[in-house]
Amino acid sequence: MRFPTVRDPQARSAAYRGLISTVARSRTVTVCAVAAAACGLAMTACGSQGSPGAAAPAGTTASPGSSSPASTDSCVTSQLGISLTYTGALAGQAGGYLKFTNDSSAPCRMSGWPAVVGLTASGQATPLRQLQSTMFGAWHYTAPPPVLTLQPGDSAYAVVAADDKPAGGNTSCPAPYVRLRVSPPGDSRNVTISAWLPGARSYLPACPSADGSPTTGTSTITALSSLPH
C-alpha cells in the first residue's frame, strides 16, 4: 500500500491520526471476520456430531442393548467336545447318542446332519448314511431340521445306530466299527472317538439290510429333550 506525502505538520498529524484509526478499524473487522468463520466451523462440526438420528460411521459396533441381534457362528470342531453316550441295544438295533458340547466361551449354533465315518479295526472307512428315522432313539426326521444355539457348556445330540442282526440270507455281519470319525455340520475338520457301546457290550455294528445296503447312520442334530434318555 502507498501512502501520500504530507508536508504540513498539523495536516501530517491529522493524517496520521486518521490513518491509525483506519488501520485499527481494518484490523478489528478482520479479527471479527476470522472469529465468526471459526465459530461457524465449530458450530457446523458440533451439529454434525450431535445431531439426533445421525448415522453411525461404517464398521462401528452396536452399543449394548441395541435391537439388532449379534450373529451367532456355526459350531466348529475346535470348540466342541464330542463323545458317545446313552448307548445300548433295542428292537434289533444298537447305537448311542453323539454328544456335542460347547467347550468354548462363546455361543454357537448347530443344525443338520453331522458327518460321521465308521472305521473298522483293519482301517476300512465307510461314511454313515443320513437317517430319516430310527427305532433307536425313536427319532423321525421333520423338515426343516431344528437350529440349536449352544451357550457355553450346553450340548446337542445326534442318534447313531445300526441293525445288530444279520438280514436276508446272511448268517453274520461284517466287522463292526471300532472308531468313529466325526465332524459337526458344515465343518470339514473332525475328531476320532471310540465306537464302543458300553450299554450293548459291543462295538457299533456294520450289519447291512436284506438288500445289502448299509443300515448304520446318524440323525440330524437335536435336543436331548426330544430323545428318550
**186 pLDDT higher than 80:** yes
SS3 of 26-44: HHHHHHHHHHHHHHHHHHH
**103 pLDDT higher than 70:** yes
The SS3 of residue 183 is strand
| CA separation for the pair 185, 221 (Å, rounded) | 8
User: Which residues, including other chains, have CB under 8 Å from residue 102's CB and lie 6 or more apart?
Assistant: 75, 79, 80, 108, 150, 151, 152, 153, 154, 155
Model confidence at 170, pLDDT cuts 50, 70, 90, reads confident
Q: Which has more pLDDT, 205 or 169?
A: 205
The string of pLDDT tens digits covering residues 42-51 is: 333 333 333 3
The SS3 of residue 164 is coil
Tell me, what's the pLDDT at 78? 97
Model confidence at 69, pLDDT cuts 50, 70, 90, reads very low
CATH, domain 77-226, list 2.60.40, 3.30.70, 3.40.50, 1.10.10: 2.60.40
Q: How many whole angstroms from its chain centre is CA 28?
A: 64
Tell me, what's the pLDDT at 169? 85
The SS3 of residue 142 is coil
Q: Which has more pLDDT, 153 or 55?
A: 153
**133 pLDDT higher than 60:** yes
**227 pLDDT higher than 50:** yes
Mean pLDDT, all residues of the chain: 79
**41 pLDDT higher than 50:** no
The string of pLDDT tens digits covering residues 188-197 is: 999 999 999 9
Q: Grid cell 461314511 — which residue?
A: 127
In terms of Cα–Cα distance, which of 216, 213, 144, 152 is closest to 185?
144
Tell me, what's the pLDDT at 30? 43
User: Which residues, including other chains, have CB under 8 Å from residue 115's CB and lie 6 or more apart?
Assistant: 127, 182, 183, 185, 190
Tell me, what's the pLDDT at 46? 36
Instruction: Summarize the confidence of residues 90-117 as an average pLDDT.
Output: 97
Tell me, what's the pLDDT at 71? 83
Instruction: Summarize the confidence of residues 5-20 as an average pLDDT.
Output: 47
The SS3 of residue 46 is helix
**62 pLDDT higher than 70:** no
